[in-house]
Amino acid sequence: MLTSILGRRRRVAAAALLMGAAISLTACGTQRATDVAAGAPGAPPSPSSSPSPGSPGASPYVEPGAGDGAPHYQENNAFRRPRDMSPAGAKDAKKEADRIEPVLKRLWGQKKWDPKSVRAALLELGYKEERTGPKGERLGGTLTVREMDSRFETDHYVTPEGALVGLRVHDDACVTAFVQKTNYQVSTNGPYLEHGCFEPPSGH
């Protein structure tokens, strides 16, 4: 009889121990998820749907629009997004783009896409070359024509034939264009944070 009672007590004690361990493990996981959602010090803003407590290694915050990319892709690439144009700026930029497009079309047809020829043709429209000081400060003029951006091919960098065009219409509005062997294009956009009218290269 005594042996039977002792056996039952041992089984009850073992069951209680197991239940207590399970409860503490569950509580621990929930606490970690709650700390992030509640904005614990150093934690990024909480997303609209928190990761489940049982998903180890789940990122606490994924920036909207990041897709399968890095969680902070948009934030890290803000320098590659142009500023918004005002309605007046956009209208004036479109007007200048309409002046530039036929010139580039003509040059492309004549197989003249080197920066020197493109610059000379656009200066004939009355634009002045943009000038900058030693610290990058603008000293006047609105037009910049330069060679194409270099790109990496196989084991070295190459600079394709062609010219890039940037026209600063207003502080918030630009015309950007290119002409090269295969095609030409004219568009309007706001300026970029560090690169004026030109879109910065992907490496930063």
Looking only at the bridges linking them, the beta strands covering 156-158 and 173-179 are unpaired
**Given a cut of 50, is residue 30 above it in pLDDT?**
no
Q: Global pTM?
A: 0.59
For 24, the enclosing helix (H) or strand (E) is helix 2-37
Q: What is the pLDDT of residue 154?
A: 84
Distance set, CA 10 to CA 2, 3, 20, 22, 122 (Å): 12, 11, 15, 19, 94
Q: What is the pLDDT, as a whole number, of residue 55? A: 42
Q: pLDDT tens, 173-187?
A: 999 999 999 999 999
Q: Can you give the pLDDT at residue 202?
A: 64
What pLDDT was estimated at residue 57? 45
Q: Which amino acid is at 86?
A: S
Q: Per residue in 30-39, is it b (16+ CB within 10 Å) or e — as a string? A: eeebeebeee
Q: What share of the chain is helix, strand, coil (3-state, %, to 5)?
A: 35, 20, 45
Comparing 17-21, 80-84, 146-150, the range with the smallest average pLDDT is 17-21
**How far apart are the C-alpha atoms of 178 and 49, rounded to whole Å?**
44
Specify the length of the chain in residues: 204
